[in-house]
Amino acid sequence: MLTRDLSVTIVGTTGVGKTTLVKRIEGGDLETTTTIDIEVTNKKIKLLSQSARSSFSIEKYRTYKVTAVDCPGDISRYPRWFSALKKYRTQGIIFMIDPTQDFRIQKDALIQTSNYLLMTLDRDVQEAERKALKAKVVIFLLVNKLDLLDYNQQRADKVIAENFTETWDGLKRRFPQGGHFWEAISAIDPTTEAYEKIDGIFETIRWYFYEK
Ligand SMILES: Nc1nc2c(ncn2[C@@H]2O[C@H](COP(=O)(O)OP(=O)(O)O)[C@@H](O)[C@H]2O)c(=O)[nH]1
Ligand SMILES: [Mg+2]
């Protein structure tokens, strides 16, 4: 089989840039709309890393069918995140952070994401916690709007370190076999470099599931 599935759910509070990110993957226009329900994008992609492979590698010819699930960010719609995680059998969660928004609210949203992920594993909490110890899922913290931090990676590091360390550590303890990654991007940046970084997120999720 030369096609593999990659199911990714994108969550985060309103306005962090979830829909913009999905549109970048889609290659569509970046006009602004408010997401009120789960929106599913299916796209077959070849990752940039694949084209660099040798012709003798099957990976060079593989296509990934990416299901990107874009969730609404309003707190009253957080339960949709749970529905999305469960329904689309999410392999990777991209939790987007906006460095210009209230961090306390975003931290709570990340805790909620962790709880929802747990709930997808079992109805019984203790059983779910047990299953979480072996769960294979990628949790990707994505600081967006790097342009508003003057493209300064250290400032993005600081945002994570100062506001999300405790929650992030809690997530790692709860899902110790999961893939824990983070990156900083600008979803509106039209340059190839920016596109490669976005591509790299999917490449990482792919790697964790199929090659690690
Ligand atoms: N400066 C800046 N603005 C962005 C970036 N990504 C998205 N935005 C803007 O943030 C606003 C909300 O984006 P949207 O994708 O609708 O957020 P969502 O609610 O998470 O889906 C829009 O006006 C976007 O143009 C970025 O990387 N930098
Ligand atoms: Mg949206």
Cβ density class 138-162: b for 16+ within 10 Å, e for less: bbbbbbbbbeebeeeeeebeebbee
Ligand 1 touching residue 144 (CB < 6 A): yes
CATH of domain 3-210: 3.40.50.300
Confidence check: pLDDT of 26 > 80: no
Confidence check: pLDDT of 52 > 70: yes
Confidence check: pLDDT of 109 > 70: yes
CA of 40 to the centre of ligand 1 (A): 18
Q: Which ligand is nearest to the CA of 144?
A: 1
What was the pLDDT predicted at 106? 97
Confidence check: pLDDT of 13 > 80: yes
> What pTM, to 2 d.p., does this model score?
0.93
- Highest mean pLDDT among 19-28, 42-51, 83-92 belongs to 83-92
* Closest atom of ligand 1 relative to the 187 alpha carbon: 27
End-to-end CA distance of the chain: 19
Confidence check: pLDDT of 46 > 90: no
In terms of pLDDT, which residue wins out, 20 or 57?
20
Residue among 9, 19, 20, 143 to mutate when testing ligand 1 (max atoms within 8 A of CB):
20
Confidence check: pLDDT of 33 > 70: no
* Closest atom of ligand 1 relative to the 22 alpha carbon: 15
Contacts of 174 (CB under 8 A, 6+ apart): 114, 118, 129, 132
